[in-house]
Structure 1
């Protein structure tokens, strides 16, 4: 097997291994599962941390769609319509056994991957959405960074959508629902609450 192909295979197997065992899983056990010697892994990756970094790139970075950023800022559509589209597409990318379990495991074991990913969500989705909501409510509002309270509203929305995946892939609940419908309902409920809180909008 070519070196490049072997490296891709190790990463692919590591994704599923860490999803099942968490990051405390040992690379020796991963090698055993793959039917290769432990040393083979370290011919391709200088350390377990280096392998975890490649897993992060494979599972998180490569699934991020850069078109989501301009979508949130597209004022030709309502913010509700933009976020509905975003979360439907986002769920399609991340509602996945490996993605969800590695995300949770990383947060529990302080590998820093979760923090890095949440920073992407914060800067590319949460903060822009908070500013767009402010603009929809009051186009003449003085521009300034979104407050923690404004951002927390959208973290609540994000968490509500993501909790569907948590229930299914972490808690093992039989979530037999139409994900797109559930996302639409969640976003609609969020904006109904915003409208009730700002009756003059």
Structure 2
């Protein structure tokens, strides 16, 4: 009697086969990519066991790469907020061969292409709601490397005292915030309120124009004493 023919097991799906072949470095990168999307969707209250399910791995395997949830969250910060920082932005702002308006347009158009994403905007918002220090660290970086630089360039363009001769004032920082926050808010409209945002480059150019037209009343101008018009 002929032995019954055994049906071979179905071949592993490519994703499963690839998952088994991942090197430690690849596995870590896969976890980080998944964590970015997971926390952007659910916030930092999202549980690592749910993330492990998404990855089709065990929670102990997840903790082999990131011993604590805090360590994984920190890696997400590094991946989304620091690795995407472009040092060339500062060179763009300093490039005196171009008019200041063109420099700010170029900087903010490229900056907007980085931050106006689902992950960036939602992670930044969730971090603030959770009380994480992402926001403080990132905003300190912005003020140190971009805000002060923009103020220095505007003062030079207007023939006002340099920041070496007259320190940056709180009102000047607020003036830069008004421009920067208006561009960030485009992402809030799109990825939090689900409202359309069209032609970002045109909107950025408009906001830069409005900002520079008003900047001459604040940047490099000595603050009046309280009660003095």
Report the TM-score when normalising by structure 1.
Answer: 0.92
Structure 2 residue runs without a partner (length 5+): 1-21, 220-229
Cα distance, 1:45–1:112 mapped onto 2, change above 3 Å: same
| 1:172 equivalent in alignment to 2:194 | yes
Q: How far apart, CA to CA, are the structure 2 residues paired with 1:29 and 1:153?
A: 43
| 1:102 equivalent in alignment to 2:84 | no
- Quote how far apart the aligned CAs of 1:180 are: 0.6
> Corresponding residue for 1:65?
86
| Higher fraction of helix | 1
Q: How far apart, CA to CA, are the structure 2 residues paired with 1:74 and 1:2?
A: 43
Count residues with an aligned counterpart.
197
Q: How far apart, CA to CA, are the structure 2 residues paired with 1:166 and 1:23?
A: 18
Q: How far apart, CA to CA, are the structure 2 residues paired with 1:100 and 1:41?
A: 25
Structure 1 residue runs without a partner (length 5+): none
Structure 2 counterparts to residues 78-97 of structure 1, below 5 A: 78-97=99-118
> Corresponding residue for 2:43?
22
Moved over 6 A (4+): none
Structure 2 counterparts to residues 109-188 of structure 1, below 5 A: 109-140=130-161, 143-175=165-197, 177-188=198-209
- Quote how far apart the aligned CAs of 1:85 are: 0.6
Secondary structure of the 2:132 match is coil
Report the TM-score when normalising by structure 2.
Answer: 0.81
Give the CA RMSD over aligned residues.
1.7
Larger RCO of the pair (alpha carbons < 8 Å, separation 6+): 1
Secondary structure of the 1:162 match is helix
- Quote how far apart the aligned CAs of 1:140 are: 4.8
